[in-house]
Amino acid sequence: MARNLLKNPSGEEQLEFWELTENGGSQWKVEDLPGDCGHDFCDEGIAKYFATSFELCLKRQVIDLLAEDFNPEELDGEPPVTAEDWYCGRTDCGCTYQITVRLLDENQEVLQEFKPDPVTLDPDSDDCSWKRVSYTFSDYGPGLRFISFEHGGQDTKYWDGSFGVRVTGSLVTLDV
């Protein structure tokens, strides 16, 4: 299986390697699974998650593919790029979740983008347990040199603290 190009995908090293692009409210926090009012996770190898707050919290990693030992010829062959993420809400507070993954050229111009509509989870009407989102890029043309992975969200009740969406198990792979 291809290796995960994201560093610290589940908070084992707190917020190390992540750029906090939005850090509102009580800010990003790392907690142990399942957490208060939480849900069990399907992978016993993952013990932590990132929690968002009452104002928008987004974090990003930009992966330099040449620094990760891929060569331009491999990258120009348009290998499949897969991005995956897991998110959930609490049993007592609604939340929103969003993700944006971009394939970038050497000038960090966008070649292709995955940006679904934000998801809102309401514990009174929705299953707020862990959900997986996955997308595989193809036919994006030559020139891939960077991948930007950004995700996060917030709670919907504006409660002081870390009551927003929870994310973990993030993954970016390149199949060469």
CATH of the domain at 58: 2.60.120.260
Question: Structure pTM?
Answer: 0.95
Classify residue 126: in a domain, yes or no. yes
Classify residue 6: in a domain, yes or no. no
Classify residue 77: in a domain, yes or no. yes
> pLDDT by residue for the chain (176 residues), tens digit each?
689 999 999 999 999 999 999 988 789 999 999 999 999 999 989 999 999 999 999 999 999 999 999 999 999 999 999 999 999 999 999 999 999 999 999 999 999 999 999 999 999 998 999 999 999 999 999 999 999 999 999 999 999 889 999 999 999 999 98
Kindly report whether the peptide bond that precedes residue 123 is cis, defined as omega within 30 degrees of 0. Answer: no
What is the extent of the structural domain holding 78?
Answer: 22-161
Classify residue 13: in a domain, yes or no. no
Classify residue 79: in a domain, yes or no. yes
The confidence score (pLDDT) of residue 118 equals 97
Contact yes or no for 116/56 (Cβ under 8 A): no
- Shortest CA distance to 87 belongs to which of 62, 59, 119, 114? 119
User: Any bridge partners for residue 120, and if so which?
Assistant: 96
Classify residue 12: in a domain, yes or no. no
Q: Which amino acid is at 81?
A: V
Classify residue 113: in a domain, yes or no. yes
| Overall number of domains in the chain | 1
